[in-house]
Amino acid sequence: MRNKLSFDLQLSARKAAIAERIASHKIARSKVSVFLMAMSAGVFMAIGFTFYLSVIADAPSSQALTHLVGGLCFTLGFILLAVCGTSLFTSSVMTVMAKSRGVISWRTWLINALLVACGNLAGIACFSLLIWFSGLVMSENAMWGVAVLHCAEGKMHHTFTESVSLGIMCNLMVCLALWMSYCGRSLCDKIVAMILPITLFVASGFEHCIANLFVIPFAIAIRHFAPRPFGNWRTVAQTIFLH
């Protein structure tokens, strides 16, 4: 009997099988392949964050609208991840599904996770260098660079407990976005399914550890090595964001 539901979605059992198959495939890659795919993921995350920063740098004073639009823009990074099949550390924790079925050992899973984390960091570092030498930091009267500093400073006020809690909630949203993407059968289905969970964690201020590897070190570099002094950046930030 044909399913007459109006939405053609994968069933839960089917989604679990898809997740397990993808996890097994990622684990089975060679170490070099895992590292290179993780580097690509780091680049994609940096691209998404760059899009986010470019939008909020020249955004209106409405904080709610800024966070919403910025969150939608940041989704680009995760769309690239899903389309290209790369490995991001936060979403790669779902490869534990392969361990739950006895396909891999904990040692194999841990080595894969460490390789992915290192690859993400390497990809972010490479893209950060491109951003630095492109002069984007100084674009729009240094508004882009100020946006980086403003964003990074906001992340420094959390206590350890707050940071861990925000990180867990962020990873929950990332895994839910990935899980929901398995519902879809077409590329459009998958993209639409991912948008709201990712937008939610960005707009709510949840902390993504890999994204922070981009913005916080980059803010430190701007603060100390930018060609134009940013010593009075807080005054500049107030002018930009409050007027």
Domain-by-domain residue ranges, the chain?
12-242
Query: In the numeric block, which tokens belong to residue 67?
Result: 């966070």
SS3 102: coil
Q: Give this prediction's pTM.
A: 0.81
H or E segment and range at residue 120: helix 106-134
Provide the percentage of residues in the chain whose pLDDT is more than 70.
Answer: 81
| Structural contact between residues 92 and 112, judged by C-beta atoms closer than 8 angstroms | yes
- Tell how far CA 114 is from the center of its chain: 17
What average pLDDT does the chain have?
A: 81
Determine the residue type at 22.
I
Is the model's pLDDT at 230 over the cut of 70? no
d(CA 240, CA 219): 17
Tell me what the mean pLDDT of segment 40-58 comes to.
91
Q: Is domain 12-242 given the CATH code 1.20.1080.10 in the classification?
A: yes
Q: Please report which helix (H) or strand (E) contains residue 1, including its range.
A: none
Range with the poorest average pLDDT among 63-77, 92-106, 130-144, 158-172: 92-106
pLDDT tens-digit series, residues 2-14: 455 445 555 566 6
